[in-house]
Chains A and B, each alone.
Chain A
Amino acid sequence: MSESGLGDAPAPLLEIESMIQNGVEVFMPVGAVDMSTIGEFEHRLRPACSRPNARVVVDCAGLTYLNSSSLGLFYKFFNVCRNQAGAFALCGVSSKILEIIKLLGLDKVLLIYGTREEAVDHVQRGNQK
């Protein structure tokens, strides 16, 4: 197999929808978060996480890839929310992404729930680790 990637047009890799569920802002990214899309990812999440008492959940079920910088970003947002009496959690994390989270020791730090309902319920009540 021999290929050339030169000259290929960039394809859209990431779409991010959001909704408010029981007072919690839920983000539902679909696609890959890598170096080419992390700027957009941060741009969408930052305002929601920067508000006092922010309640934010990222449903990762639609993510096909997440790089290490994205996970660093999750930790940053987790802290920003916590420091302003808010809460930040993840849900729908695939085994593939959970593996990276564990390799980086973030499973002991971040709030990770199985379903969106669980995450929203806990974040709504301001649960923190």
Chain B
Amino acid sequence: MNDKNLFTLEIPGEPHALSKARSFACEVACQVGFTESEVNKIEIAVDEACSNIMEHGYADLSPKPVIHIQIRIEKRTIMIELIDHGKTFDYDGYAAPTFPDHWEKGNTRGVGLFLIRQCMDKVSYRGSTGASNCLRMVKRR
């Protein structure tokens, strides 16, 4: 692996760090030629994914662990991995919402993973109790 294709950032697992995570992902995506619309979607995916980690994975932890963001560029593909040290998420058990039913039932949240899947081409998750979890998100130009 050529290191020039690897971009890494470590952020505190707290909400004030979200803007840094978004800026970082957008900067890398812009550098490799993604369109403005694609960069916007990458920004949404990174923000929603980091928010989920902070809100759910790190809910019971104090102090909050860091989140590692690794971005790999391969030709026309960007692969973003978010590695956290919190509670494992039941990724396969997630039921995607349908609209407008979701809103009409009074829900105002619970659409983060849906958005991530809409914004990226491929999303996968590897959870590991007691170790680290990894959400991988891939998008092609």
Q: What residues make up the interface of A, taking CB atoms closer than 8 Å to B?
A: 1-6, 8, 10-11, 13, 32, 34-36, 65, 67-69, 72-73, 75-76, 95-96, 99-100, 103-106, 108-109
The 8 closest A-B pairs by CB, nearest first: A105-B99, A72-B108, A36-B15, A10-B16, A5-B11, A35-B15, A35-B51, A5-B20
Closest to B48 in A: A68
Q: Are A73 and B108 interface neighbours, CB within 8 A? A: yes
Residues of B within 8 A of A75 (CB): 103, 108
* Residues of chain A within 8 A of B134, CB atoms compared: none
Chain B binding site: helix, strand, loop or mixed by DSSP?
Answer: helix
Q: Which residues of B contact A100 (CB under 8 A)?
A: 44, 115
When chains A and B are docked, how far (Å) is the Cα of A106 from the Cα of B48? 18
The residue of chain A having its C-beta at the shortest distance from the C-beta of B39 within the complex is A96
Q: Is B18 part of the contact surface with A, judged by Cβ < 8 Å?
A: yes
Residue of chain B at shortest CB distance from A4:
B10
Assembly CA distance A2 to B112 (angstroms): 27
Q: How far is the CA of A6 from the CA of B11 in the complex (A)?
A: 6
Shortest distance between the CB of B10 and any CB in chain A (Å)? 5
Residues of B within 8 A of A96 (CB): 36, 40
Report whether B18 and A1 are in contact in the complex, using a CB–CB cutoff of 8 Å.
Answer: no
Q: Say whether B37 faces chain A, with CB atoms less than 8 Å apart.
A: yes
Chain B residues numbered 10-48 whose CB sits less than 8 Å from any CB in chain A:
10-12, 15-22, 24, 28, 36-37, 40-41, 43-44, 47-48
A46 to B114, CA, bound (A): 27
The residue on A at minimum CB distance from B107 is A72
How distant is B65 from chain A, measured CB to nearest CB, in Å? 11
Nearest residue in B to A72 (C-beta to C-beta)? B108
Contact across chains for A1 and B7 when beta carbons are under 8 A apart: yes
Question: Which of A11, A32, A67 interacts with B48 by CB under 8 Å?
Answer: A67
Q: Is the CB of B103 within 8 A of A8?
A: no
Q: Which residue of B lies closest to A9 (CB)?
A: B16
Tell whether, in the assembled complex, residue A8 and residue B115 are in contact, meaning their CB atoms are under 8 Å apart.
no
Residues of A within 8 A of B74 (CB): none
Would you list 29 pairs from A and B whose C-beta atoms are within 8 A, ordered by A residue? A1-B28, A2-B8, A2-B9, A4-B9, A4-B10, A5-B11, A5-B12, A5-B21, A11-B19, A13-B19, A32-B19, A32-B22, A34-B15, A34-B18, A35-B18, A65-B43, A67-B44, A67-B47, A68-B109, A68-B111, A69-B51, A72-B107, A96-B36, A99-B40, A103-B115, A104-B114, A106-B103, A108-B100, A109-B100
